[in-house]
Amino acid sequence: MFFLPEKLDHYVVEHSEQEPQLLQELTRETYQKILQPIMLSGPYQGRVLSMISKLVRPKIILELGTFTGYATLCLAEGLQIDGEIHTIDINEELHDFQRKYFDKSGFGEQIIQHTGNALDIIPSLDMSFDLVFIDADKPNYSNYFHLIINKLNPGGIILSDNVLWHGKVVEPLNDKDKSTKAVLDYNTLLKSDERVETVLLPIRDGLTISRKK
């Protein structure tokens, strides 16, 4: 979905960094072998994630929803030399695919994969984070926020993906549509929670930046 007129959207992409070769390969193989390849962050959002991570220079990153590892590798580009990224996905079948690309990237030793439900795994991570990327199941976005906020360092950043939910956030709400309701509630939570300051960016499907005060 284009929120900008298509021509302008192409202009924006053409005048931004190109995605690295390895991510092009990862994308090709994801489209060949994995269901729902549309879930990939993609080249433009990937460069945005990489840029934000390079600006933050995080020591520890947490990602919820690894999928085939596209965003993991973008975020890893900004890690401190001794930093690490913990990435969680519930789908164990993706593990070996992810690992193949992590090891090819040069960030392999800095990427720690966790397989299981993020709701169970986050409380077991005994560490605090500088940067968190929330990109797993929408109905749990608010639960993830509550699990993470006390583990986020002051000045730490939460990036939340798909917060415009294909534009459904401004359409009449269907009672059965749990995901849209969850995204609406989540956006209200980020705006009203006094522990963070929040800006929603109309990038791709909507990307919110929240900074812990």
Ligand X SMILES: C[S@@+](CC[C@H](N)C(=O)[O-])C[C@H]1O[C@@H](n2cnc3c(N)ncnc32)[C@H](O)[C@@H]1O
From 51, 59, 112, 117, residue interacting with ligand X (rule: CB under 6 A): 117
Contact between 49 and 71 under an 8 Å Cβ cutoff? The reply is: yes
Size of residue set near ligand X by CB under 6 A: 18
How are beta strands 152-161 and 129-134 bridged, if at all? Answer: parallel
Beta carbons within 10 angstroms of residue 21's beta carbon: 8
The structure tokens listed for 173 are: 């709400």
The structure tokens listed for 170 are: 């401004």
Using CB under 6 A as the binding rule, whether residue 19 contacts ligand X is answered as no
Using CB under 6 A as the binding rule, whether residue 88 contacts ligand X is answered as yes
State which residue, 56 or 122, has the beta carbon closest to ligand X. Answer: 122
Mask for 151-190, x = binds ligand X (CB under 6 A): ----------------------------------------
Interacting positions 58-87 with ligand X (CB under 6 A): 65, 67, 70-71
- The CB-of-183 to ligand X minimum distance in angstroms stands at 13
Cα–Cα distance, 36 to 60 (Å, whole number): 29
Cα–Cα distance, 116 to 92 (Å, whole number): 7
Name the residues that contact ligand X, by CB under 6 A.
39-41, 65, 67, 70-71, 88-91, 117-119, 135-137, 140
